[in-house]
A = this chain, B = another copy of it.
Amino acid sequence: MEDRWSRSELDLHLDIDAARGLRAGLEQALRDAVRRGRLAPGTSLPSSRVLARDLGVARGTVTQAYDQLVAEGYLIAAPRSGIKVAVRPSAPPAEPATLARSYRPPVQGVDLRPGQPDLAMFPRREWLAATRHVMQTAPNSVFGYGDQTGRIELREALAGYVGRACGVVAAPDQIIVCAGYTHAFRLVCQALLLRGATAVAVEDPSLPDYAAIARHTGLQVDAIPVDGAGLIVDRLGSQGGVAVTPAHQFPLGVTMSPARRADLLKWAHQAKALVIEDDYDGEFRYDRQPVGALQGLAPEQVVYVGTASKTIAPGLRMAWLVAPPALMRPLAEVTKMDETYVSVVDQLVFARLIETGELDRHLRRCRAHYRRRRDRLDAAVARDLPSAHLSGIAAGLQAVLHLAGGAEPDLLAHLDRHGVAVDGLAQYYHNPDGIPPGLVIGYSTPPEHAYATALSTLIPALRSWLDQP
């Protein structure tokens, strides 16, 4: 036994981290030695007396370390045979496969993909000031398990905000604070299922995530085409709901016409269906004030969803859903089993930003900022790409560039070679056959210092593609 031990002692000795204290250091060294296989299962360890003498520490230190590792299962204290290394049930793990997965992996070069605001606009100073206020004034109870519908302070602030900014009619207890639009949409799909719906309609084109979420909850998804006036309502059937982006269709950018709005609400009324209004960028309207939400026109038939992803930052994962009476009961059922909350600190900070008017001031700054960017893109296209046409520019953070001909995959590959990442239009179509090539240009995406470069890379790259024989 002395022989075997002398080997192990060397390992132990080398690994003892004196900064942890002798006992903790000894424990860690033993643990590591077992884990890494230097002390094989079944190996007898020296008695505490012997090890204490060898290490020059008190016997109690060794006894305590042994006890701890026996309690943890690394060692076994067998009657009469002393302390042994426990048999571990399987081999140590192989190199773990990576789980890391980015929702939006960064690109080299110019990033003009849509869906993200200029992250440099995040109101850091205001956020910090609001956090100070929250930390100084919030009652302790806010840090406890919260109400799954969100903090009342935020729901009250939001009820005022959505009424003022978007024409939404909402009482605080109709509002559910959600972790982004996708969470809100998933809750609504689940609630529609509970109401007996079997299918939901989405716009074609639209963000593929929505169809994926709806299918994932068990709903059939019907893609309904969009024209220059928005969703072609008379293509709807007996779906239990339809998800629309009436203020600024994503990705096309059209605003749903008054006639279509009326038709859509009429359909919902007749089909006993609900309209899910995704107001993802309703705060950014450049040519006149925001178009009032559909919800304000028929609060009993529309689920309104707004988000802070474009106005503040996607990383907050904050959105809000305004539920019509018919959806209250099924939504209550669904949220009961839902474990998704939004950080209570973020909720209170955001409520404070609304109450102090900081959010409104921030939105005014952002609106001017993005409008300038839009104007620069618009001017560059008009000047340098006369055969192309830009649409959807009245609002939002992205525009669609329509090109007369050619194949979109070739165009995207060409742009990629020129260092430009931008979305093709086809990927948003459920059936992209016959769709002329188009680009969805997220002009809010680059940081400010890089925007000029982004345009002066994109435009010549497009020219050279258009000039090809």
Interfacial residues, chain A to chain B (CB-CB below 8 A): 24, 31, 35, 64, 68-74, 76, 86-94, 96-104, 106, 115-116, 119-120, 122, 124-125, 127-128, 131-132, 135-136, 140-149, 152, 167, 169, 171, 173-174, 176, 179-180, 182-183, 186, 212-213, 216, 255, 258, 261-262, 265-266, 268-269, 288-289, 291-292, 294, 296-301, 313-317, 323-325, 328-329, 331-332, 335-337, 339-346, 447
Which one of A64, A74, A152, A339 has the greatest number of beta carbons of chain B within 10 Å? Answer: A339
Q: Are A149 and B100 in contact (CB under 8 A)?
A: yes
Q: Which of A76, A102, A145, A266 has the most CB of B within 10 A?
A: A145
Q: Which of B72, B90, B173, B255 contacts A258 (CB 8 A)?
A: B72
Task: Enumerate the 8 nearest inter-chain pairs by beta-carbon distance, A residue then B residue, closest first.
Answer: A143-B313, A343-B343, A315-B344, A72-B292, A89-B269, A182-B339, A73-B261, A119-B140
Extra contacts, 15 of them, besides A31-B296, A92-B299, A183-B339 (Cβ < 8 A), are A72-B167, A73-B258, A73-B265, A76-B258, A86-B258, A93-B325, A94-B325, A102-B147, A145-B314, A145-B315, A186-B339, A213-B339, A316-B343, A340-B340, A345-B346
A388 to B269, CA, bound (A): 63
Looking at A124, A143, A345, which has the most chain B CB atoms within 10 Å of its CB? A143
Q: List 18 A-B contacts (CB under 8 A).
A: A31-B167, A31-B292, A72-B297, A88-B298, A94-B325, A96-B328, A98-B328, A99-B173, A104-B144, A119-B144, A125-B135, A127-B135, A143-B314, A179-B340, A317-B342, A317-B343, A343-B346, A345-B345
Contacting pair B146 A315 (CB below 8 A): yes
- Which one of B68, B73, B124, B343 lies within 8 Å of A262 (CB-CB)? B73
A305 to chain B, nearest CB (A): 13
**Closest chain B residue, CB of each to CB of A28:** B167
Q: A71, B147: Cβ atoms under 8 Å? A: no
Q: How many copies does the complex hold?
A: 2
Q: Which residues of B contact A125 (CB under 8 A)?
A: 135
Report chain B residues within 8 Å CB of A258.
70-73, 76, 86
Q: Are B331 and A99 in contact (CB-based, < 8 A)?
A: yes
Instruction: Knowing A90-B298, A294-B73 are in contact, say whether A97-B261 is a contact too (CB < 8 A).
Output: no
The residue that A116 contacts in the complex, of B88, B90, B144, with Cβ under 8 A, is: B144
Q: Is the CB of B122 within 8 A of A140?
A: yes
Q: Are B99 and A335 in contact (CB under 8 A)?
A: yes
**Contacts A128-B131, A268-B89 hold; do A315 and B72 have CB atoms under 8 A apart?**
no
Given A68-B289, A101-B336, also A301-B92 (CB < 8 A): no
